[in-house]
A and B are shown apart, each in its own frame.
Chain A
Amino acid sequence: MHEILTVARKEFLEGVRNRWLIGIVIILALFALGLGYLGAAISGKAGLLPLDTLIVSLASLAVFLLPLIALLLGYDTIIGERENGTLLLLLSYPLSRSQLISGKFLGHLLVLALATVLGFGVAAASIAALSGNLLDVALWRLFGAFIFSSILLGGVFLALAYLISVTVSEKTHAVALALGLWFFFVLAYDLGLLGLLVFSHGAIGHDLFPYLLLLNPNDVFRLANFTLVGASTAYPGMAPIVMQGGFSLPLLLSTLLGWLVLPFLLALWRFQRAQL
């Protein structure tokens, strides 16, 4: 455990030392605040957005930002050390490969968690203050659950980034793959599903549709947050899917956790067998 914590500590230190972490916190907070204040203006109303609408909107924002941040944080974790010559050095220490990769993951996950808690937490506090009730239990419970699911989503893409990092032989390939993966899960997958439904006039995939959504961690995250706020009538677009699938929040969060664990274990397995 000492070795894992030592590696995690170093990754965390290095992560928070990077200025872009502060950038991420500011971006997340600004977007969250902007949505909270200005989101209602789109529908011609003034004032704060209703809380459940805000969480659903934030979830839609998070699926763009968090995967990108996590992929960028993790894509070079192994291949970068390999190219820098420090991987061989580290493995000459009393440190196993599984300890190294686990420590790195823990450290990076803490960096992500810190950025998410700070970014969305600042926004939540500001919104609570503006609504006149800083200790609004319902607001903090919802935001807490949203932040937790956001950290899980970040963890999923961090694990995917690790899988890329142990697979490629060059850092540039890792960047390309990471961006490709982001494009696939954030944009292409849902469009593909939609296309399938439209062109088959609903014949193909209609019954399978909710389950197909589970194959995209972004959709699982969104479904989890819809379920969290109890989306029913307010969001007719997604509500039928949530109803039809009948997925419970624990099931959706477990699926998200599965999405984190599986690529991480794959990355670990590949790294154990990598020829250095």
Chain B
Amino acid sequence: MDTAIDLKAVSKHYRALTALQQLNLCVGRGEVLGLLGNNGAGKTTTIKLILGMIQPDGGELSVLGCSPGTPQAQALRLQIGYLPESMHFYDPLSGREVLDYFARLKRVSVDERDRLLDQVGLTGAADRPVATYSKGMRQRLGLAQAFLGRPRLLLLDEPSTGLDPIAALDLLERLRALRREGCTIVISTHQLAGIEQLVDRVAILQQGRLRIHGTLEKLRRRSGLPDRLRLRGHWQPASLQQQLAEWGCRDYRLDGQVLELTTTADNKIPLLRRLLAQEGVEDLALEAPNLERLYRHFSKTPEPFDA
């Protein structure tokens, strides 16, 4: 696999505080990585290292084939788009002027600037001062600047903050399109549901260390978390408990007509067959552990369903 970002045993300390410890992380070209972790886990430090704004105390890192922070890497920045977590743009300037400022710094044409304003839906408000923009509009302006110059690497910190549902869906579409064009994307976010359909791999950081890194499938396997089944039907509560115990299922909850239960991967199909053979089953939903549950698991937080 062609590598876009390669961190080998990277450590970073701020005086007595260890921000990152022996971090190994590899992101392939054209891959989307979800960089997850609680506050203070080391996500922002990782992004700053990738951008070359800070230097590691130990280890090696390479970004698009260069070592960030070196003079040669200055040109590399033309190929990187970055969206910080929270930003307050220059109030007296209009949206067009703000984007123009960043476009000039990246030597991007006026046409592309206007096309991006249009893409993020700001053409109508482009000549209004940024001071009059809503939070969502500011975020869209931030995204437009990150997309300037057709970047080969995008680093997005909480990209969907403040966006309405339609704008958030549009963003996902746009990111998918960029991935198809070969752009590598790193998304750091707490909004796990929003990125589940997009990410190829996930890295969970915990207190400056890599807790786990891999595809969702790998995380599911490693977690051993059961799938959830939800069936609507006419159940006989009296006999249900005994039947389920015989079929190897002890973790269930009956709420009126809705039966919720968990099953291991091995037992999933036999259990499903037996349940569907019952009379009166009207509807079925099957849910593999989603990113939220996996994140909770690997962050050592008990799941509410089990509690």
**Chain A residues within 8 Å of B, Cβ to Cβ:** 2-3, 6-7, 9-10, 13-14, 17-18, 84-86, 88-96, 275-276
Q: Bound state CA distance, A155 and B294, in angstroms?
A: 57
Q: Which of the residues B53, B74, B101 comes within 8 Å of A10, measured between beta carbons? A: B101
B54 at the interface (CB under 8 A from A): yes
Of B88-96, B211-219, B267-275, the one touching chain A: B88-96
B298 interface residue (CB < 8 Å to A) = no
Q: B76: nearest residue on chain A (CB-CB)?
A: A94
> With the chains together, A86 CA to B141 CA distance in Å?
13
Q: Report the nearest A residue to B93, measured CB to CB.
A: A14
Number of A-B pairs, beta carbon distance below 8 Å: 69
Chain B residues within CB distance 8 Å of chain A? 14, 48, 51, 53-54, 74-75, 77-78, 80, 82-90, 92-93, 97, 101-102, 104-107, 145, 155
Closest-CB distance, A34 to chain B (whole angstroms): 30
Q: Is the CB of A89 within 8 A of B84?
A: yes
CB distance from A18 to the nearest CB of B (A): 6
Across the interface, name the chain A residue whose C-beta is closest to B92: A17
Q: Identify A94's interface contact among B53, B82, B106, CB under 8 A.
A: B106
Indicate which residue in A17, A86, A93 contacts B89 across the interface (CB closer than 8 Å). Answer: A86
Q: Closest CB-CB distance, A83 to chain B, in whole Å?
A: 8
Contacts A94-B77, A276-B53 known; A89 to B106 CB distance under 8 Å?
no
Q: DSSP class of A's interface residues: helix, strand, loop or mixed? A: helix
Shortest C-beta distance, A5 to chain B (Å), equals 9
Q: How far is the CA of A84 from the CA of B91 in the complex (A)?
A: 11
| Chain A residues, CB < 8 A from B92 | 14, 17-18
**How many angstroms from the CA of A86 to the CA of B97 in the assembled complex?**
15
Closest chain A residue to B86, Cβ basis: A85
8 additional A-B residue pairs with CB within 8 Å, beyond A14-B90, A276-B53: A3-B105, A6-B101, A86-B87, A89-B83, A92-B77, A93-B105, A94-B105, A276-B54
Residue of B nearest to A3 (CB): B105
Minimum C-beta distance from B183 to chain A (A): 16
> Chain A contacts of B93 at CB under 8 A?
10, 13-14, 17
- Chain A nearest CB: distance from B283 CB in Å? 47
Q: How far is the CA of A10 from the CA of B104 in the complex (A)?
A: 10
Q: What separation, in Å, do the CA atoms of A271 and B104 have in the docked complex?
A: 23
Looking at chain B's contact residues, is the secondary structure mostly helix, strand, loop, or mixed? mixed
- Neighbour of A89 across the interface among B75, B87, B97, B104, CB < 8 A: B87
Cβ of B85: which chain A residues have Cβ within 8 Å of it?
A: 85
- Check if A85 sits within 8 Å of B88, measured CB to CB: yes
Min CB distance B36 to A, Å, is 20
Kindly provide the distance from the CB of A26 to the nearest chain B CB, expressed in whole angstroms.
19
* A-B residue pairs in contact (CB < 8 Å), sample of 28: A2-B104, A6-B101, A6-B104, A10-B90, A10-B93, A10-B97, A14-B90, A14-B92, A17-B93, A84-B87, A85-B84, A85-B86, A85-B88, A86-B84, A86-B88, A86-B89, A88-B84, A89-B82, A89-B145, A90-B105, A91-B51, A92-B53, A92-B155, A93-B105, A93-B106, A94-B74, A275-B14, A275-B54
In the bound assembly, the distance between CA atoms of A116 and B78 in angstroms comes to 38
Cβ of A89: which chain B residues have Cβ within 8 Å of it?
Answer: 82-84, 87, 145
Residues in chain B near residue A85, CB distance under 8 A = 84-88
A276-B78 Cα distance, complex, nearest whole Å: 21
Set B48, B78, B104: member contacting A88, Cβ < 8 A:
B48
CB distance from A204 to the nearest CB of B (A): 44
Q: Which chain B residues border A84 with CB–CB below 8 Å?
A: 87-89
| 5 closest A-B pairs by CB | A17-B92, A85-B87, A84-B88, A92-B82, A6-B104
A93 and B77 in contact, given A10-B90, A10-B101 (Cβ under 8 angstroms) = yes
Chain A residues whose C-beta falls within 8 Å of the C-beta of B88 in the assembled complex: 84-86
Contact status B48-A276, CB under 8 Å? yes
Q: Find chain B residues with CB under 8 A from A93 CB.
A: 77, 102, 105-106
Give complex CA distance A18, B83 in Å.
27
Task: Give chain A nearest CB distance to B130 CB in angstroms.
Answer: 11
Cα-based distance from A261 to B151 in the complex (angstroms): 38
A89 to B75, CA, bound (A): 16
Known interface pairs A6-B104, A10-B93, A14-B93; A91-B53 also in contact (CB < 8 Å):
yes
Distance (whole angstroms) from the CB of A128 to the closest CB of chain B? 34
Query: A3: which B residues are within 8 A, CB to CB?
Result: 105
Tell me whether B80 and A92 are in contact (CB under 8 A).
yes
Q: Which residues of B contact A14 (CB under 8 A)?
A: 90, 92-93
Query: Which one of A13, A90, A94, A276 contacts B97 once the chains associate, using CB atoms below 8 Å?
Result: A13
Cα A116 to Cα B228 with chains together (Å)? 72
Chain A residues in 8 Å Cβ range of B51: 88, 91-92
Closest residue of chain B to A16 (Cβ to Cβ) is: B92
Alpha-carbon distance between A84 and B142 when the two chains are bound, in angstroms: 13
Which residues of chain A have C-beta atoms less than 8 A from B14's C-beta? Answer: 275
Which residues on B sit within 8 Å (CB–CB) of A276?
A: 48, 53-54
The CA-CA distance from A92 to B48 in the complex, in Å, is 9
CA distance A275 to B14 in the complex (A): 9
* Nearest A-chain residue to B77, judged by Cβ: A94
Which B residue sits closest to A84, measured CB to CB? B88
